[in-house]
Amino acid sequence: QVKPQFESRANMNCGVFTAIAYKTQVVAGTMYFIKVQVSDAEYVHLKVFQSLPHENLGPSLVSFQTGKTRDDPLTYF
């Protein structure tokens, strides 16, 4: 659901956009840290916020890190 947000902010089109791993952090909602494969050898880390269900809002891309590899550890940022 955040692919269009990422593509717009990173100014790139992703033929591949596959989540590989994720971590969560509970705040006033849930913060997701997601490792996403965007090409054969390129990965990005996304920070996505999902508000509480009663707020009825979709996930929002908070920030991202590019230039990652499959072996880079997924950390909170």
Residue 56, pLDDT score: 87
| Any domain includes 61 | yes
Domain that holds residue 57: 1-68
Residue burial 31-43, b: 16+ Cβ < 10 Å; e: rest:
bbbbbbbbeeebb
The pLDDT tens digits for 16-74 are: 999 999 999 998 899 999 999 999 999 999 999 999 988 989 899 999 999 999 999 99
Task: Identify the DSSP state of 72.
Answer: S
Type of residue at 51: S
Encoding tokens for residue 37? 């494969």
Residue 53, pLDDT score: 87
Residue 12 sits in a domain of what CATH number?
3.10.450.10
Report the number of distinct structural domains present in the chain.
1
| Any domain includes 77 | no
| Any domain includes 9 | yes
Residue 44, pLDDT score: 97
| Any domain includes 52 | yes
| Any domain includes 54 | yes
CA distance 38 to 62: 18
| Any domain includes 75 | no
Question: What global pTM score does this model have?
Answer: 0.88
Place of tokens 């809002």: 57
